[in-house]
Amino acid sequence: MLAAATFLSVATGPAVSSNQERPYYSLGQSHIWLGATVAVLTILLVILIEAAKQPSWLRRTVWINLAAIVLETLIGFLPLPQAPAVRIAHAFLGQLLFPLIVLIAFWTSRGWATTPEQAEGTRWLRRLMKITPVVMLAQVALGILHRHGAIGVAPHLFSAFIVVFFVLGLALPVIYRPQYHALHRVAAAFLISAVVQVLLGFVLFTMVAVEADPSVTILMTLIHAAMAALTLAATVMMAVLIRRRITL
């Protein structure tokens, strides 16, 4: 529930922060209520995990998550009009929060409590596992900077090609090697999410270039920002599962 509410909050954020035409501003108003829902669910999660006497590292993680939610709320409620740096910080922190909450959902699931089947991997795959989430996060950051007018579109477009190489290098060896059968569906979902996100980005770039209808362009911006959160979370989960199931 917390992950779903956080995703919807991230998805509706651009309707408020980067929507100059305001055709979807009413949708953006739900961003405030979704933020409040995220805060309440986070507090409940902290209480439940403390009461269940979960491991200390997990308890620290949910407290860090709660602190981040508080910071995100404080930034979001700064007086309008907000400076670009404030809007960028708010959007970037929201993108960081979603994969963290997805990880917490995984760490509190029954699947985490079981001992997974492991397969032998390569050093190259382990290196990609560590680098790809950083590359994806950088791409998300460039997208946020562009959306808020801090940079042009060129760095975001160029880095998209770099991201594609890392995604293919991480996903394809897992998909096409039988010993990694337990991760085939996860790798396929990760690859599909990244490909869809790249295609959405190029569609959005084309719409801006041809000066398409602003309402349609803003709607595509909302979808692209939401897909960025899903893709970043998929990348982080892919890395965590590779670390958990593939050994050197």
pLDDT tens across 212-230, in order? 887 788 888 889 989 999 9
Contacts of 5 (CB under 8 A, 6+ apart): 34, 37, 38, 41
* Most confident of the following: 17-26, 31-40, 77-86, 189-198: 189-198
Q: What is the per-residue pLDDT for 248?
A: 62
Q: Which residue has the tokens 């055709």?
A: 23
Q: Is the pLDDT of residue 187 over 90?
A: yes
- Give residue 168's pLDDT: 93
Q: Which range (78-87, 89-98, 99-108, 188-197) has the least confidence?
A: 78-87
pLDDT above 80 for 242? yes
Q: Report the SS3 class of residue 200.
A: helix
Q: Where is average pLDDT lowest: 47-61, 62-76, 104-118?
A: 104-118
- In whole angstroms, what is the distance from residue 167 CA to residue 126 CA? 13
Cβ(227)–Cβ(159) below 8 Å:
no
CA 108 – CA 54 distance, rounded (Å): 9
User: 3-state DSSP: the chain helix, strand, coil percent, rounded to 5?
Assistant: 80, 0, 15
Q: Residue 239: is its pLDDT beyond 80?
A: yes
DSSP conformational letter for 79: P
- Specify the pLDDT at position 188: 93
User: What is this structure's pTM?
Assistant: 0.90
Q: State the Cα–Cα distance between residues 62 and 128, nearest whole angstrom.
A: 27
Q: How high is the pLDDT of residue 77? A: 80
pLDDT for res 18 = 54
Q: Which DSSP helix (H) or strand (E) runs through 247?
A: strand 246-247
Task: Read off φ and ψ for residue 52, nearest 5 degrees.
Answer: -80, -5
Predicted pLDDT at 20: 54
The rounded mean pLDDT for the chain is 88
Q: Model confidence at 17, in pLDDT bands (50, 70, 90)?
A: low
> Residue 62's closest CA among 72, 81, 84, 47?
47
85-97 average pLDDT score:
90
User: What average pLDDT does the segment 52-62 reach?
Assistant: 91
Domain boundaries in the chain? 2-113, 119-247
pLDDT digit string, tens, across residues 121-145: 788 888 899 999 999 999 999 999 9
Instruction: Provide the pLDDT confidence category of residue 148 given band limits of 50, 70 and 90.
Output: confident
**With bands split at pLDDT 50, 70 and 90, how would you rate the model's confidence at 13?**
confident
pLDDT in tens, 157-173: 999 999 999 999 999 99
Alpha-carbon radius of gyration of the chain: 19
